[in-house]
């Protein structure tokens, strides 16, 4: 029997990026907020000590900061005909754990999805006709660009994003991304200083007639005081971003941008190492009453609240909705139901180049350091003669020269021994690459539900992922690989190779921690779990924040859009919901 606790205005599950943004915004509005976080408290100087943070074995290989499958595992399969099996270790993607969530170990790529993403169905139908979207479940997200743009701006000024605007209020800016949607002001910080490989990439792309620009980065190009008065230090280009936490306060995270302010607010409370088991609904299932959680001693508590906000990782949010019966389970056979619908991933490919006489100095790296072209992203290019929609951003980033994983060699090199040693020595200064971050569009048979067989340590069903790369995305990715092939030519490298996506998503090799959808926002309660304010259509005092709300995934990293959606939902709660609790959109 759970111990009943005094009621709070707001109960937040998870204190990562979105939980922190919501916590800050709602406490600023005067609400009493408690955040319940499954993992431990983590802070920069105490947990990300610069003296040992660069331990590649501990953090990058043994994945010290990530969620362990012993805490929560998932099952996966490629198609409805298969029986899903549990992933015994996280590989293809690596969810975060603890305060700060995946925002602790991210690289800092901070993109804005485009206006054409928020209106994707309308946009593509108008340009190419409905037949073009045949097997895709693309749908509009809800907000207009002028509605959502200020939320992107808020997140960028919170993070101190380093970049160069390409479209200021409709005016194309030299040096920026000409394909981005209009932004109301310049980035808060200038672009990062580019390493040689990225500079070279930018030059070659310009020669080919493309439009290179510095990748927008939440690594600090200079020290910064953010919109909450929190200070960050200049990035030292140490090359320990992704899979690591930043010991130098130079990468935006909840720790470096929000928590110093939030944790000192008297109307905020944080309970760490407490795992939410379920959201409890009223007997008619129409309102959330409370959440039940279990602390590290195995004691169960029931925390009532007027508002319950799910701020876990995208996949965890969906699972919590299914476990709590917040909205109907999506059924891929009938297409009915909403929770679990439109699960998407990311569709990537890459080019690798080896030279003989370069000094790329890959140890001068940062998570979000590079040049990008968006000439083949989204709908920046004409698809009318192509057999797919979507596209990819193509970037040359220099993230690290770490000794265990960064050992580029030419094909045919032995995997061990003296020849391998010589090849890694030759390759270290002579390798560069560029890669595509491709869109992932929803199809009927890619979805999330609860596994019928496997359960977690508390006896709850695991989440089941049913996913394979759709034909549309494979065609898109092959087209992008063709472009990558052409792009390698002007470099005159000794060796160059381009990867090609194959059908049959494999959960073992790392690909990307960009799992999206499953609790998507939209305009129609029969095809979306959430309304355009990320409020559950079915249980209106539940909001579900994160990439789980993406109706599709675009050809760029999701965090910038996740942050924007967090501010967007927070604004809806503080300006609309608290004055008139209830459904903000009537279907």
Q: For binding to other proteins (CB under 8 A), which residues are involved?
A: 43-46, 49-52, 223-225, 228-234, 236, 238, 247-249, 260-261, 264
Q: Which is nearer to other proteins, 18 or 44 (CB)?
A: 44
Structure tokens at 38: 């499954």
CA 488 – CA 424 distance, rounded (Å)? 21
CB 247 to other proteins: min, Å: 7
Phi and psi angles of residue 569, each rounded to the nearest 5 degrees, phi first: -70, -40
- The sign of the torsion formed by the CA atoms of 161, 166, 168, 169 equals negative
Q: Which is nearer to other proteins, 228 or 323 (CB)?
A: 228
The four Cα atoms 2, 5, 11, 17 give a dihedral, to 10 degrees, of -80
CB 240 to other proteins: min, Å: 11
CB 336 to other proteins: min, Å: 49
Quick one: 420 exposed, middle or buried, by C-beta within 10 A (0-12, 13-18, 19+)? middle
CB 259 to other proteins: min, Å: 10
Residues 6+ apart with CB under 8 A from 323: 277, 278, 450, 460, 461
Rg of the Cα trace of the chain?
23
DSSP 258-282: THHHHTT-TTEEEE-S-EEEEEEEP
Is residue 421 within a helix (H) or strand (E), and if so which, with residue range?
helix 417-428
C-alpha of 190 from chain center: 23
Question: Which of 97, 514, 552, 579 does the annotation list as catalytic?
Answer: 514
DSSP 332-354: TTT----BTEEEE--EEEEEEEE
Which DSSP state fits 286? S
Q: Which is nearer to other proteins, 238 or 274 (CB)?
A: 238
Structure tokens at 374: 């968006």
Query: Is residue 514 flagged as an active site residue?
Result: yes
β-partners of residue 86 are: 75
CB 229 to other proteins: min, Å: 5
Phi and psi angles of residue 359, each rounded to the nearest 5 degrees, phi first: -135, 80
Q: Which is nearer to other proteins, 27 or 395 (CB)?
A: 27
CB 157 to other proteins: min, Å: 15
Q: Which is nearer to other proteins, 214 or 247 (CB)?
A: 247
- Report which of 40, 91, 76, 16 is spatially closest to residue 546, judged by C-alpha positions: 16
CB 261 to other proteins: min, Å: 5
Q: Which is nearer to other proteins, 232 or 573 (CB)?
A: 232
Residues 6+ apart with CB under 8 A from 203: none
At 477 the three-state DSSP class reads helix
Phi and psi angles of residue 292, each rounded to the nearest 5 degrees, phi first: -105, 130
Contact between 141 and 342 under an 8 Å Cβ cutoff? The reply is: no
Q: Which is nearer to other proteins, 50 or 584 (CB)?
A: 50
Residues 6+ apart with CB under 8 A from 490: 204, 207, 208
Q: Which is nearer to other proteins, 247 or 337 (CB)?
A: 247
Q: Which is nearer to other proteins, 30 or 52 (CB)?
A: 52
Which DSSP state fits 59? I
CB atoms within 10 A of CB 3: 10
At 204 the three-state DSSP class reads helix
CB 182 to other proteins: min, Å: 30
CB 540 to other proteins: min, Å: 34
β-partners of residue 554 are: none
Residues involved in catalysis: 514
């Amino acid at each position: 029997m759970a111990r009943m606790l005094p009621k709070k205005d707001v109960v937040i599950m998870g204190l990562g990026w979105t939980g922190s943004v919501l916590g800050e915004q709602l406490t600023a509005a005067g609400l009493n907020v408690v955040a319940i976080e499954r993992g431990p408290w983590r802070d920069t100087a105490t947990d990300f000590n610069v003296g040992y943070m660069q331990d590649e074995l501990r953090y990058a290989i043994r994945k010290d900061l990530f969620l362990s499958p012993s805490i929560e595992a998932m099952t996966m399969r490629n198609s409805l005909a298969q029986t899903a099996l549990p992933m015994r270790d996280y590989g293809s993607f690596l969810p975060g754990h603890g305060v700060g969530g995946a925002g602790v170990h991210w690289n800092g790529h901070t993109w804005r999805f485009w206006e054409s993403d928020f209106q994707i169905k309308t946009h593509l139908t108008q340009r190419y006709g409905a037949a073009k979207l045949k097997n895709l479940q693309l749908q509009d997200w809800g907000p207009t660009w002028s509605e959502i743009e200020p939320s992107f701006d808020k997140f960028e000024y919170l993070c101190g994003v380093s970049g160069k605007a390409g479209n200021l209020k409709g005016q194309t800016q030299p040096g920026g991304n000409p394909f981005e949607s209009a932004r109301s002001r310049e980035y808060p910080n200038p672009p990062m200083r580019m390493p040689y490989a990225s500079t070279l990439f930018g030059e070659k792309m310009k020669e080919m007639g493309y439009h290179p620009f510095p990748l927008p980065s939440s690594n600090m190009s200079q020290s910064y005081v953010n919109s909450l008065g929190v200070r960050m230090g200049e990035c030292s280009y140490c090359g320990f971003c992704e899979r690591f936490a930043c010991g130098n306060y130079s990468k935006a995270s909840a720790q470096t941008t929000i928590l110093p302010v939030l944790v000192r607010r008297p109307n905020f409370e944080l309970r760490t190492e407490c795992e939410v088991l379920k959201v409890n609904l009223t007997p008619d299932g129409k309102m959330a009453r409370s959440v039940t959680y279990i602390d590290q001693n195995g004691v169960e508590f029931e925390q009532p609240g007027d508002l319950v906000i799910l701020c876990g990782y995208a996949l965890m949010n969906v699972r919590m909705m299914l476990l709590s019966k917040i909205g109907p389970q999506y059924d891929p056979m009938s297409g009915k139901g909403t929770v679990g619908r439109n699960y998407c991933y990311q569709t990537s490919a890459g080019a690798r180049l080896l030279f003989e006489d370069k000094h790329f100095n890959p140890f001068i790296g940062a998570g979000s350091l590079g040049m990008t072209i968006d000439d083949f992203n989204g709908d920046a290019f004409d698809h009318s003669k192509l057999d797919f929609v979507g596209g990819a951003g193509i970037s040359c980033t220099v993230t690290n020269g770490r000794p265990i994983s960064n050992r580029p060699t030419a094909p045919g090199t032995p995997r061990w021994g003296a020849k391998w040693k010589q090849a890694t020595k030759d390759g270290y200064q002579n390798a560069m690459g560029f890669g595509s971050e491709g869109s992932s569009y929803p199809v009927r048979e890619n979805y999330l539900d609860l596994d019928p067989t496997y359960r977690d340590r508390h006896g709850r069903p695991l989440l089941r992922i049913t996913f394979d790369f759709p034909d549309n995305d494979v065609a898109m990715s092959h087209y992008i690989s063709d472009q990558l092939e052409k792009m390698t030519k002007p470099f005159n490298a000794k060796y160059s190779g381009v990867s090609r996506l194959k059908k049959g998503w494999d959960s073992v090799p790392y690909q990307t921690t960009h799992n999206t959808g499953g609790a998507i926002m939209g305009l129609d309660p029969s095809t979306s779990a959430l309304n355009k304010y990320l409020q559950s259509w079915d249980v209106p005092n539940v909001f579900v924040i994160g990439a789980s709300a993406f109706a599709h995934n675009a050809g760029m990293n999701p965090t910038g859009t996740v942050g924007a959606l967090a501010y967007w939902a927070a604004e809806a709660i503080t300006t609309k919901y608290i004055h008139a609790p209830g459904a903000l959109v009537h279907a």
